[in-house]
Amino acid sequence: MKLAIVVVYLVGEDDGPLLDLHLSQIRNCTKVPYEIYASANRLLPRFRERLDSDPNVRVCPCPPTELRGFREHSFYLEELIRIAIDDGATHVLMLNPDSFPVKEGWVREMADGLSDATVLSAVRRDETDDHKPHPSCLLFPREFYLRYGPRILMSDEEIASERGQAYQREFHVILDTCAGYGFKLYCEGLGWNALLRSNRAADHYVIGSVYGDLVFHLGGANRAAKIHMRERRMIEHSFGKRSTRALNRLMRMGAKVLPERARAFFRPYRGYVLAPGAQLALDASQRAFDSARRQLIQDPDSYFRYLRTGRRD
């Protein structure tokens, strides 16, 4: 096995300890030859230096993009996957900067379940009604990529197509990063192994999750607003889905003429800041994230043990 781990490193200025933990967990748990293919286009220089100093990391030259959010993430992932495949990687594995293994042998366990008919192993976040492969951990062999040519995002044409509409009706799917992979599997009649949330204990329904007892995902580390699906639905219920979507569209249109400082403030919140109850949801989610991050950084082994077994030290 020649494993390529592809990661888009977009981390905040206080996330040095999280980046170090991410790299050390990969190093300590991965017993097959691997190389991390990293995108660092907007990474702070001191974090770029950490990546450059790790012998298992290759920072890849990726063209810049004006895209943001999941579209930027998807753009860089496409570039990294292409480079890894051209390099001869036998398997490609996606991770996020806030996701990493918690168990030795994780890659072998994921790869052993693959076949011609079952072409992916990936996190599936049922807890957010997102029933597609998730980029916090997704493994596939090069043969799948070369034969089927999957794309990270569904195109507008695919989303509007009859088959695309059928896919969305049949599955709960958020049309963001890796929706295109899920749609490719659907169109080709291919299967995949889903890593489901396996926590024995938790302080939040999605923040601080372990999947398949193999991989941890903090969740939302790169988002200023810790909005997940339950919070979005609560906001939409109180404010009205159509009104919330209309406000989001207005915010996006306004962002084109606002100064960058104003855009940076409003971008993570979009129309949610105007919805009744939004601030309560934001505050509760932020508290859960801060608690999970603090436990993770202070004593990761103890926190993993708590999540995986339900026991505190």
Going by the DSSP 8-state scheme, the letter that residue 267 receives in this structure is T
What is the domain-level CATH number for residue 81? 3.90.550.10
Does one domain contain both 48 and 180?
yes
Other beta carbons within 10 angstroms of residue 253's beta carbon come to 9
The pLDDT tens digits along the chain (313 residues) read: 999 999 999 988 999 999 999 999 999 999 999 999 999 999 999 999 999 999 999 999 999 999 999 999 999 999 999 999 999 999 999 999 999 999 999 999 999 999 999 999 999 998 888 999 999 999 999 999 999 999 999 999 999 999 999 999 999 899 999 999 999 999 999 999 999 999 999 888 889 999 999 999 998 777 655 555 555 555 555 555 555 455 555 555 555 555 655 555 544 444 444 455 566 667 777 888 899 999 999 999 999 999 999 988 7
Does one domain contain both 260 and 120?
no
In the block, tokens 């990493």 appear at 100
CA distance 110 to 121: 6
CA distance 313 to 302: 7
Does one domain contain both 269 and 189?
no
Residue 154 makes CB contacts below 8 A (sequence gap 6+) with 164, 175, 179, 180, 183
CA distance 222 to 12: 7
Q: Which of 195, 222, 249 is the last residue of a domain?
A: 222
Secondary structure (3-state) at 193: strand
What does the pLDDT read at residue 274?
46
**Residue 125, CB-side half-sphere exposure with 13 Å CA sphere:** 27
Does one domain contain both 235 and 207?
no
Does one domain contain both 166 and 238?
no
Does one domain contain both 193 and 282?
no
Q: What is the pTM of this model?
A: 0.86
Other beta carbons within 10 angstroms of residue 305's beta carbon come to 17
In the block, tokens 């293994």 appear at 101
Dihedral (CA of 287, 291, 292, 297) sign: positive
Does one domain contain both 208 and 260?
no
Secondary structure (3-state) at 68: coil
Q: Which of 198, 222, 246 is the last residue of a domain?
A: 222
> Is the separation of the CB atoms in 169 and 97 below 8 Å?
no
Q: Which of 187, 222, 257 is the last residue of a domain?
A: 222
- Per DSSP, what are the bridge partners of residue 96? none
CA distance 226 to 281: 9
Greatest Cα pair distance, the chain, in angstroms, is: 53
For residue 303, what are the domain limits?
A: 224-313
Residue 206 makes CB contacts below 8 A (sequence gap 6+) with 125, 127, 128, 219, 228, 229
Overall number of domains in the chain? 2
Does one domain contain both 47 and 81?
yes
